[in-house]
Structure 1
Amino acid sequence: MPQYAVPGPPGGPQPDGGKKKTTAIAIVAATAVAVAAVVTGVVVMNKDDNKGKDIADDKNSSAPAKPSDSPSSSQANPRGTDGDTKPLIAGWKVVTNPKWGTQFDVPGDWEVGSPGTFSYFDDDKKGDGSPYIGFSAPSYYQREWCVDGSDKDGTKEDMSLASAGTRGAQGATDAAVNARNEAGDWAWAAYAQHMPKSTIKFTEAKQYTTKSGLTGQVVTATAPNVTKRKKCDSDGKTIAFTFKNKKGEFASWILYGAHSVKDELSDTTIQQILSTVRLVDIAPSS
């Protein structure tokens, strides 16, 4: 399942890697802006990261989420002024998404994509390169962890070992349900589109508060025992954190990574990254 990265409008941010093909293969409409896609999608959406819909909210997982409390509205990041680019963890890098009003930190050896880049996985069933699910302002751990040149069309695909970003969830009404759907959809889309959705495993949603005081619901999911068809296929794991931004709208932070592989991103590091998610001012709509 190819991963794509698409740049913003001409003169704007450039694509920042992920799993991609070396030749442009798809055209993705982003409201009034049409941009070419490469494998690991990156597109700029003007309403939300799914053409006005929260894909994860629309697609039901294999079982309903256990009901739990919705997150409370969060205060501004108490560790600094809004938009402060100083990391909460010394030596780490800051990832800022002005579209959804979020920041988080990643280790210093990660690559940080531009805010205008939308990274996505395409829909294998459709086969037209259109996004199935994605997030903006992506960050990558070992961006070219696996490179596969086996496609008969002569192009190459590369897959990052892990990636994290933020996306909108404007249609969501329950943080726990949305976090579960996000985690499940990402695990399936990134690693197991050729497997039944019922193979995805979940933890129960639980309330979580980051270092900045941002409270929401978090769910983890895994794609175990994935049938390996290509060089870069692997089991996968995801974690999704759904919360309300300064507009009182739901948004989600997601991290996905290869599971049960050499150099797998540790759960300790994942929890450290999650702990740094915080709110900043949302950029005015153009």
Structure 2
Amino acid sequence: MVVVGVTSSLLLGGGKAGRDDNADGGKAKASASAPRSATASAPASGGGAGKPTVPGWKVVVNPEFGTAFDVPPDWDVESPSLVIGFHDNKADYNDRENGGKFLIAMSGTVIYRDGLCLSDSDRDGRVESTAVAVAGSKGAEGAEGTGDAALRQARAWVYAGYTQPDRKSIVSDRAAKPYTTRSGLKGSVAWARSDNTPQKDKCATDGKAVAFGFRNSAGGLAAWCLFGATRVKGELPDSTIRKILGTVRLHGKPTES
């Protein structure tokens, strides 16, 4: 199995993405297991999600949080139950396999250009494949509001994926900004980036993340998140990220209350 990763240990598994698995917010909750088994991609239609709001794009649905968004046709849409997230680099391998030291995760995920770099950084005999970008959604309970949720998530993804254990190389918005998607969904958006990450693995890169905090139809705090490598060939342009962000919308009743 080729594991999608960035420079940290990246979790792929089934189960729930967690309500607030956050690298910036105290103790992480290991609410999903971390099996390294193959997971089939979901149909391009996103499983009964209707038509995309951008013609020719694919619909991505997360029933857990009642959300949907669209991505360009060259993205790989994963099963809605696939959880993607990062472990603490300081955790030993057995601890990771048991779901311990779980920093942050999300579900309803899509992957852009897997295979940017291949590495066995922890020398366990399992090859990790770096993706250019990954997007999905997650819970944000514990945040003080949509703005706090956006700031926490943006910083957390950059930290977990590109800079841990260092936080000094992270540059982020000082405050989240009000944002309304094309569907009329109101919330807050924040960006974070790393500059000169101290990670030294051969696949290490600087990274960026954007998070949109909002309330779903059940009133719960949730966040749509996208993280990606920077200063690499084929980097996902910010203009494309903003276009994807604009498609985020509510979809059905959340299964996670």
TM class by smaller structure: 0.7 to 0.9
Higher mean displacement: 227-236 or 205-214? 227-236
1:244 match: 215
1:87 match: 52
> What is the rounded CA distance, in whole Å, between the counterparts of 1:55 and 1:224 in structure 2?
21
2:172 is aligned, of 186, 202, 219, to 202
After superposition, the C-alpha distances for 1:44-97 in whole angstroms (9 at most, x for unaligned) are 12xxx33x545357349xxxxxxxxxxxxxxxxxxxxxx642111111111000
RMSD over equivalenced CA pairs, Å: 2.4
1:117 is aligned, of 58, 82, 90, to 82
TM-score, L = length of structure 2? 0.81
Quote how far apart the aligned CAs of 1:284 are.
4.2
Write out aligned runs for 1:17-96 (5 A).
Answer: 18-19=4-5, 39-45=10-16, 49-50=17-18, 53-55=20-22, 58-59=25-26, 84-96=49-61
SS across alignment from 1:41 = strand
Is residue 226 of structure 2 the alignment partner of residue 255 of structure 1? yes
1:181 match: 152
Quote how far apart the aligned CAs of 1:216 are.
0.4
Matched to 2:171, the amino acid is: K
1:75 match: none
Contact 2:13 2:84 in 1 (8 A): yes
Quote how far apart the aligned CAs of 1:18 are.
2.7
> CA 1:191–1:57 in 2, change beyond 3 Å: closer, same or farther?
closer
**Rg larger in 1 or in 2?**
1
After superposition, the C-alpha distances for 1:119-138 in whole angstroms (9 at most, x for unaligned) are 11111123321321010011
Contact 1:56 1:178 in 2 (8 A): no
> CA 1:16–1:149 in 2, change beyond 3 Å: closer, same or farther?
closer
TM-score, L = length of structure 1? 0.73
SS across alignment from 1:271 = helix
Matched to 2:25, the amino acid is: D
Is residue 243 of structure 2 the alignment partner of residue 275 of structure 1? no
After superposition, the C-alpha distances for 1:105-151 in whole angstroms (9 at most, x for unaligned) are 01100001111111111111233213210100110000222111465
> What is the rounded CA distance, in whole Å, between the counterparts of 1:266 and 1:162 in structure 2?
10
After superposition, the C-alpha distances for 1:219-263 in whole angstroms (9 at most, x for unaligned) are 000011013411211000000000000001110000000011111
> What is the rounded CA distance, in whole Å, between the counterparts of 2:184 and 2:66 in structure 1?
15
Is residue 104 of structure 2 the alignment partner of residue 133 of structure 1? yes
**Equivalences, count:** 228
Matched to 1:264, the amino acid is: E
> What is the rounded CA distance, in whole Å, between the counterparts of 1:212 and 1:162 in structure 2?
24
Matched to 1:238, the amino acid is: A
> What is the rounded CA distance, in whole Å, between the counterparts of 1:123 and 1:155 in structure 2?
17
Quote how far apart the aligned CAs of 1:279 are.
0.2
> What is the rounded CA distance, in whole Å, between the counterparts of 2:205 and 2:61 in structure 1?
29
Write out aligned runs for 1:153-232 (5 A).
Answer: 153-195=124-166, 197-203=167-173, 204-232=175-203
> What is the rounded CA distance, in whole Å, between the counterparts of 2:23 and 2:140 in structure 1?
8
SS across alignment from 1:189 = helix
Contact 1:202 1:222 in 2 (8 A): yes
Structure 2 segments unaligned to the other structure (5+ residues): 28-47
